[in-house]
Structure formats: C-alpha cells, structure tokens
Amino acid sequence: MPAISKTINKDLKEERDKVKFNIEEFTNWFYGGSEKVLEKRKIENYFLSDKSLNLETDTSYLSYKEKYEEAIRRSCIVYPKMLKLHQELGGTEEDFRKIMDNLRYTMSAIQKEGNPFMLHFGMFTVTIMNLANDEQLSEWLPKCVNCEILGTYAQTELGHGTFIKKLETTATYDPKTKEFVLNTPTLTAYKWWPGNLGHTVNHAIVMAQLYTKGECCGIQPFIVQIRDLETHKPMPGITVGDIGNKVGFQTVNNGFLAFNNVRIPYKNMLMKSSKLSEDGTFIKPKNAKQNYGTMVFVRVYMIMDVVVNMSRAATIATRYSMVRRQSPINPNDEVEPKIIEHMTQQYKIFPAIAKVIIYKCMADNLRNLYQQITLEGTKGSFERAPELHALSCCLKAVCTNDAAKTTEILRLACGGHGFLNSSGFADNYKNATAAQTYEGENTVMLLQTARFLIKSFTKAKNGEKLTEGVFYLNDFVKRNGKREPFDDSIRGILRAIQAAAAGKISSAWKHIEEKKKFLTVEEATNQTGIELIRCAELHCYVCLLQTGIEEIEQIIKNVSPALREVFKNVLELYAIDNVLNMIGDILQHVDMTNADIDKLQKRLEAVLTFFRSSAIGIVDGFDLSDAVVSSTLGTYDGNVYENIFEAAMKSPLNQEDVNKSFHLYLKPFLKSNL
Ligand SMILES: CCCCCCCC/C=C\CCCCCCCCCCCCCCCC(=O)SCCNC(=O)CCNC(=O)[C@H](O)C(C)(C)COP(=O)(O)OP(=O)(O)OC[C@H]1O[C@@H](n2cnc3c(N)ncnc32)[C@H](O)[C@@H]1OP(=O)(O)O
Ligand SMILES: Cc1cc2nc3c(=O)[nH]c(=O)nc-3n(C[C@H](O)[C@H](O)[C@H](O)COP(=O)(O)OP(=O)(O)OC[C@H]3O[C@@H](n4cnc5c(N)ncnc54)[C@H](O)[C@@H]3O)c2cc1C
C-alpha cells in the first residue's frame, strides 16, 4: 500500500491563494449573516461529532435490510438530539425551523439514501398544523413535536398519484357510532409510495374520499393509527408493508397500505377547512384547494433542497478539476494542465455554481411569499393562492429537473472517477431524480403553471391588470405583435426572455383557440401540451432571472468591492448562459442578429475566465464540511488519489486475498479448459 500523506494538495492551495474576495464574507451572505453561520456550524458539529453515528462506515456495501436498520439506528440518535436542542433553544416553531434548515445539509452526511423519518415533520406534522382545528391541534401537535408518535402522508395509490380526485380509498361516516369506516375497495386503491410507511411509522394522514349520507364529498384528510404503539404490529384491518427496491431513496421505506373496515373516531377527520357535523352534514371549505396545502409547502421547501444538492455537486467537481491534471493544451507543454484550464470544463462547472446562488435567492423569496400567502389564508383571504401554486409548480419542476441534469454534467466533468460511488454523485443524482417525480410529476407541474399563464394571457388580452409575476404579459399585449428589440444589458436580457415567454404563451393561446373550433377546450389544451410546458419553463426562467437581478442589486449595495465583482459576474454568467441556451425561443420573438449572438458568446467566454479565480472561493464559501460533501473527489484538502485508494480498500472483496468463488467456480472452470 502506498504511503498516504494528508496535507492540503498544493494545486488546490495555489487556487485558493488566487481568490481575491473574503470567503467568510460570502459565507455570511449565503447563510444570512455571521450569527447564522456560527449557529449552522454549531448545529452541524453537534450532530456530526457524535461518534455513535459511525459515519465512517460505507453504508453503500450494506444489504437493503441492513441499510434500513442502520438508517433507523442513526435516526434514533439524531432525533432525540434534535428534540433536546429544540428545547434548549427555546422550543418555539422558529427554533424548530432553524434546526431543520441546518439539518437539511447535515442529513446528507447521515442519511445518504434518504431519511426514514423525513415525512414525520415534513408532511404529517405540517398537515396537522395546516388542517387541524384548534381542538385537534392541541391533541395531536404535542405528540408530533415530541415524537411520541411517528407519522407519514398517505395520498398516492397504486392506480392514481397525479389525478388525486380519482383516489379510491373510502372513508364512510357512520353517524350511529360517530366513526369513519375506511376501506380499500380494489388493488389499485392500495396506498402505494408514501415515505416511511412500510415498517417505520405508526400513524398516517390518509387522504380518502369522504362518503356521508350516501354522497361523495371529495378527498379529505384523516389521521389513522396503523401500528400498535407497543408491539408495532399492524392495527386490526390494516395491511401495511414495504414496496421494495427502488432507483434510489432506499432507506426512505416507501410503503403500501390497505384498509378493511377500519374504524376511526369522528375527531380524526382534520376539520379546519372542510367540516362534517356529527349528524353527517358536510360543510364545504371556503377554498376547495386548501387540502392541497401540504403539497405546496413541500414544493416550496424542495427548492432549498435543490440548493443543497447542487452546491454539493458543484463543490466536488470544482475541487476535483483543480487537482486533476490531464491533456496539455499546447502539445509540447511539459506539465499537464489542471483540467479546469480546459474552457469546456469551465463551461460544465461554473454555470452550476452561478445557479446555486440564483436558486438560493429564489428559494428564500419563495419561502417568504409562501409565509405571506399562508398568513392571508388564515385570515380567510385566498386571492393569491393560485399565483403561489403556479409559481411553486414551475419552480419545483424546473429546479429539480435542473438539479438532476446538472449533477449528471458535473459527474461527467469528473471523468471515470465520477462514476465511483465514493465520488458522491450517485446519491446526489438519485435524490435529485426522485424529486423530479415526487410531490407532483414535473410535466404535470409545468402544465399547472401553463394553465395559470393561459388564463393570465386571456385577462391581459381583455385589458385586465395582472398579478406582479406576469406583468410582462400586459407589456407584450400592448406591443401588439411588434418584436422586442434586443438590448444586451442584463435587464435587456431579462426583457428578451420575457418576450420569448410571452410570445410562446401567446402562440399556445392562439393554437388552443384554433383547436377549440373542432375539439373541447380540454382536448385542445392537451393537443397543445408540448408548447404549454415550454411556456411554463420560459416563465420560470423569467422569474428566476428577475429575482436574481433584484436580489443581487440589493446584495451589491452591502458587500465589499471584491465580493461585489463576484456577484456581478454570477449574474452575468447566469443571464448569458440562460439566453444562449434558449436562443431558438428568443429568435422567434426578439430582434437579435448574428452579431448579437457572437457578442454574447464572447461575453460567456470572458465571464468564465473571470470565474476561474473565484470558483474555489465560492464553493469553499458554501461552507460544506467534508462529511456533508461526502466525496472522495471533493474533500477540502484535495487529496483525491489518496481518498480514492482508501475507499477502494473498504470494498468487502478486498478484505480477503482470495474470494471463495475462486474455489467454487473459477478454479473448476479454468481446470476444465486445460
Ligand atoms: C412548536 C414546534 C412546532 C414544530 C412544528 C414543526 C413543523 C415543521 C416545520 C418545518 C419543517 C421543515 C421541514 C421541511 C422538509 C420538507 C421536505 C419534506 C420531505 C418530503 C419528501 C417528499 C416525499 C414525497 C411526498 C409526495 O409525493 S406526496 C404526494 C404528492 N402528490 C402530488 O403532488 C399530486 C399532484 N397532483 C396535484 O397536485 C393535483 O392533482 C393537480 C395536478 C394540481 C390537479 O388537481 P385537481 O384535479 O384538483 O385540479 P383541477 O380540477 O385540474 O383544477 C386546477 C385548479 O386548481 C387550482 N389548484 C390546484 N392546486 C392548487 C393549490 N395547491 N393551491 C391553489 N390552487 C390550486 C389550479 O390553480 C386550478 O385553478 P383554475 O382556476 O385554473 O381552475
Ligand atoms: C421517491 C418517491 C417518494 C414518494 N413519496 C410519496 C409520499 O410520501 N406520499 C405520497 O402520497 N406519494 C408519494 N410518492 C408518489 C408521487 O407523489 C407520485 O408518484 C407522483 O405524484 C406522480 O404520480 P403518478 O405516479 O401517478 O404518475 P403518473 O401520473 O402515472 O405519471 C406517468 C406519466 O403520465 C404523465 N401524465 C399524467 N397525468 C398527466 C397529465 N394530466 N398531462 C400530461 N401528462 C400526464 C406524466 O407526465 C408521466 O409522464 C412518491 C413517489 C416517489 C417516486
């Protein structure tokens, strides 16, 4: 075995020495201030320094069952610590969010293939907070917060996930006993997919069709105990289990669930929005979509997960590319360059770094908007709910699609070693791609946004004033078919993307109108689906760039000149990369010449060159510890070859010189050929 030295790699040190801005200043911005950075480091250390977690174990070699058991063991260390910390901090909801925000990063070191408790707070508790009335809240919330019970969110069934109106599970009210009777009428009605359901939780929010007085009142949320608190055996009438191996998320314990005349008390239907009187009279909610609130919450939080996911992947690829040397640029060069010297390598990595920053601005904004609009809802005003729904749907889709795509680009940027499990890309990719499907399949999400855009465009054509996020449609209609002139300032690029989005929405609108002459409006909309998803994507790019511009304009007022340059270049890179990637859409609606495109290409190359000296500072500034980065290629010290070698030594096959398969199969086979 070679001698392994663990000083900082000199190539990486050389890169860090070139950084012109104060990395800690960037970190302070990224986490919202120096106090928050200290708090994050403290919280992370509080969890990760716990030796009993055995984080050195490479869990990727464990069997499916062992992985699950190890994940539960780790959660049963992390969650008591979390509850203790929550009490120490003050026990408020804000304290809880603080821990959760930081755990988001820390958990990627502890539960690489997913957390078997993630649905308990993320969806079960949140649904109770959103949809329980005061009485129900005081009964259930303390049990949730103290983890006296563990719950999940059981909505999707074997036959339906997207179209939730057609869920088949029934909850029939029996006014004589004041109970609901839950049933799974068919195989396709089995709850299928809910996380943590298989063998972990003992309670679930079950979304079921409410039947009362012989009528169906649509899907409503019910709290159902599914396992005995003492024995953990399924409750009478309950069939529950694990759905088996998946592409990823192996330790999330996604499960199935069926009911055979399971009786639950009247008080277990969550009644903040829809209500049922004890005699069985159904009272409709003020807003029919209130029951979908938890999904909106999760979609909002998922953008923050994208930031975590992409910041990890970008950190790995950047550090590796500054250590790996290959392929002289001039054939006679003696020394091979760092692979980051190759312009194409910069183009794979630097736009990803810029996106982390823009998505982070967006995630923070979206969370604020969610909080405002939820507050309005508690006061009975739901006017802005469709806008939030439309925005969260397209962002969920575009950002998770991009996280999966970017992880793959960054893995490829690390060549062969990127394909090692120890590179960390596999877990990143599997988590990113799961997010493309869960909480609303991405095409379906884009079509929801497009529905809002088409409605908004109709309003704009009728001269009605629109909500702020779609003002640009009013401008488009006012231009009355005149093409947008191209102006290459950053705001000019935004206007070009707005024109492309509005133009696409306008032609999708026109095509639906044409098709409506022969088809129903729904059929016409379906036939226009390909254009509609592009409308939603372009609208999302508008929102992202607009938010990026507005946030960065504010940020640069408050940072040092050196960091100001970095943010300006982040915006430049993000905007130019974006516009060049949608040039076809832009050319349809904007007066742009070949010379404009050449100029943009030159600016792209220039900004990548600038980024060369900032990239390592930015990724170091994401402040991800080695445990969180969890990659042989991405450690802070840059000792990639030593790390790769050490990781290979952990292979179970390397624990003995000769594997028994030699004696059993190989030797007889070789002998038979003599
Ligand atoms: C004191 C201490 C306290 C501590 C408390 C702690 C609390 C916790 C705090 C912090 C915790 C932080 C943790 C965060 C962690 C979060 C992450 C958690 C991890 C979770 C992992 C996720 C696992 C995955 C879970 C799932 O997948 S669940 C299943 C999800 N399923 C779906 O998403 C299904 C997708 N389908 C749909 O959404 C709908 O079917 C549809 C596609 C929207 C269509 O619906 P429907 O058929 O009813 O609609 P239409 O008839 O077509 O009508 C459309 C109109 O409706 C409007 N609409 C639709 N939805 C909404 C909405 N949500 N809001 C508003 N309006 C909506 C739409 O606009 C249309 O309107 P119209 O005017 O055009 O008609
Ligand atoms: C890892 C993971 C975790 C999950 N966790 C949970 C959980 O905790 N709780 C829970 O309840 N569920 C959970 N789910 C289920 C998840 O929410 C659904 O799988 C998801 O909403 C997609 O629904 P579906 O499976 O019915 O897809 P389908 O709707 O069957 O999608 C199949 C295809 O049909 C297309 N399609 C469907 N409808 C339309 C339409 N209207 N227009 C155009 N195309 C359409 C889709 O675009 C897709 O290409 C999880 C799923 C996964 C993968």
Q: What does the pLDDT look like over 304-355, one tens digit per residue? A: 999 999 999 999 999 999 999 999 999 899 999 999 999 999 999 999 999 9
Is 642 a residue whose pLDDT tops 70?
Answer: yes
Is 2 a residue whose pLDDT tops 60?
Answer: no
Give per-residue pLDDT as tens, 63-85.
999 999 999 999 999 999 999 99
Backbone angles phi, psi at 271, to 5 degrees: -125, 30
* Gyration radius of the chain over CA positions: 27
The CATH class of the 149-285 domain is mainly beta
**Closest ligand to 290 CA?**
1
What is the average pLDDT value for the chain, to the nearest integer? 97
How far is residue 9 from each of residues 320, 601, 635, measured CA to CA in Å?
A: 11, 34, 10
- Lining residues, ligand 2, CB within 6 Å: 119, 153-156, 160-162, 193-195, 249, 254, 434, 437-441, 443-444, 447
pLDDT interval class at 420 (50, 70, 90): very high
Give per-residue pLDDT as tens, 244-288.
999 999 999 999 999 999 999 999 999 999 999 999 999 999 888
Q: How far is the CA of 171 from the centre of ligand 2 (A)?
A: 23
Task: Tell me if domain 292-440+612-654 and domain 463-559+570-592 are identical in fold.
Answer: yes
Q: How far apart are alpha carbons 531 and 506 in whole angstroms?
A: 10
Residue 106: which H helix or E strand, with range? Answer: helix 93-110
Asked whether residue 195 is marked as a ligand-binding residue, the answer is yes
Q: Residues near 91 by Cβ (< 8 Å), separated by ≥ 6?
A: none
Place of tokens 């024109």: 499
Confidence (pLDDT) at 221:
98
Confidence (pLDDT) at 49:
96
Give per-residue pLDDT as tens, 448-468.
999 999 999 999 999 998 999
Q: How far apart are alpha carbons 106 and 21 in whole angstroms?
A: 27
Q: How far is the CA of 275 from the centre of ligand 1 (A)?
A: 20
The pick from 101, 439, 446 for probing ligand 1's pocket by mutation, whose C-beta has the most ligand atoms within 8 angstroms, reads: 439
Give per-residue pLDDT as tens, 476-509.
999 998 999 999 999 999 999 999 999 999 999 9
The DSSP call for residue 337 is P
Confidence (pLDDT) at 343:
97
Backbone angles phi, psi at 485, to 5 degrees: -70, 145
Confidence (pLDDT) at 359:
98
Give per-residue pLDDT as tens, 103-158.
989 999 999 999 999 999 999 999 999 999 999 999 999 999 999 999 999 999 99
CATH of 292-440+612-654, one of 2.30.30.90, 1.10.1060.10, 1.10.240.10, 1.20.140.10: 1.20.140.10
- Of 609, 6, 10, the residue nearest 335 (C-alpha): 10
Confidence (pLDDT) at 4:
62
Place of tokens 């029951």: 291
- Of 68, 292, 96, the residue nearest 104 (C-alpha): 96
* 285-290: long-range pairs with CB below 8 Å, 24+: 286/380, 286/382, 287/377, 287/382, 287/385, 288/218, 289/385, 289/389, 290/130, 290/131, 290/377, 290/382
Is 1 a residue whose pLDDT tops 70?
Answer: no
Sheet holding 238-242, edge to edge: 191-192, 255-259, 238-242
**Strand bridging mode 484-485 / 590-591:** parallel
How far is residue 392 from each of residues 240, 369, 385, 582, 617, measured CA to CA in Å?
A: 32, 10, 10, 22, 31
Sequence ranges of the domains in the chain: 149-285, 292-440+612-654, 463-559+570-592
- Of 468, 464, 471, 522, the residue nearest 501 (C-alpha): 471
**Closest ligand to 390 CA?**
1
Q: How far apart are alpha carbons 153 and 118 in whole angstroms?
A: 10
> 10 Å Cβ neighbour count for 643?
22
Is 423 a residue whose pLDDT tops 70?
Answer: yes
Nearest CA to ligand 1 atom 48: 165
Q: Which atom of ligand 2 is nearest to the CA of 152?
A: 8
Nearest CA to ligand 2 atom 33: 441
Is 636 a residue whose pLDDT tops 90?
Answer: yes
- Polymer length in residues for the chain: 674
Q: How far apart are alpha carbons 534 and 528 in whole angstroms?
A: 10
DSSP, residue by residue, 488-549: -SHHHHHHHHHHHHHHHHHHHHHHHHHHHTTS-HHHHHHHTHHHHHHHHHHHHHHHHHHHHH
Q: How far is the CA of 544 from the centre of ligand 2 (A)?
A: 25
Q: Is the dihedral of CA 161, 166, 172, 173 positive or negative?
A: positive
Is 195 a residue whose pLDDT tops 60?
Answer: yes
- CB of residue 93 inside a 6 A radius of ligand 1: yes
Q: How far is the CA of 122 from the centre of ligand 1 (A)?
A: 13
* Strand ranges in 307-463 using DSSP code E only, listed in sequence order: none
Is 3 a residue whose pLDDT tops 80?
Answer: no
What is the 3 state secondary structure string of 443-484?
HHHHHHHHHHHHHHHHHHHCCCCCCHHHHHHHHHHHHCCCCE
The mean pLDDT value for 428-453 works out to: 98
Amino acid (1-letter code) at residue 381? S
Q: How far is the CA of 440 from the centre of ligand 2 (A)?
A: 6
Distance of CA 561 to the CA centre of its chain: 33
> 10 Å Cβ neighbour count for 365?
19
Q: How far apart are alpha carbons 419 and 209 in whole angstroms?
A: 46
Q: How far apart are alpha carbons 306 and 363 in whole angstroms?
A: 9
- CB of residue 165 inside a 6 A radius of ligand 1: yes
The pick from 389, 400, 533 for probing ligand 1's pocket by mutation, whose C-beta has the most ligand atoms within 8 angstroms, reads: 389
**Closest ligand to 371 CA?**
1
- Of 443, 429, 502, 442, the residue nearest 472 (C-alpha): 502
Give per-residue pLDDT as tens, 358-378.
999 999 999 999 999 999 998
Confidence (pLDDT) at 481:
85
Q: How far is the CA of 449 from the centre of ligand 2 (A)?
A: 17
Q: Please give the positions annotated as active site.
A: 439
- Of 230, 231, 223, 229, the residue nearest 202 (C-alpha): 229
- Of 356, 352, 391, 350, the residue nearest 370 (C-alpha): 391
The DSSP call for residue 51 is G
With pLDDT > 70 as the criterion, what percentage of the chain qualifies? 99
**Closest ligand to 533 CA?**
2
The mean pLDDT value for 528-537 works out to: 98
pTM across the whole model: 0.97
Confidence (pLDDT) at 38:
97
The CATH class of the 463-559+570-592 domain is mainly alpha
Confidence (pLDDT) at 674:
86
The pick from 168, 252, 441, 523 for probing ligand 2's pocket by mutation, whose C-beta has the most ligand atoms within 8 angstroms, reads: 441
DSSP, residue by residue, 405-428: HHHHHHHHHTGGGGGSGGGSHHHH
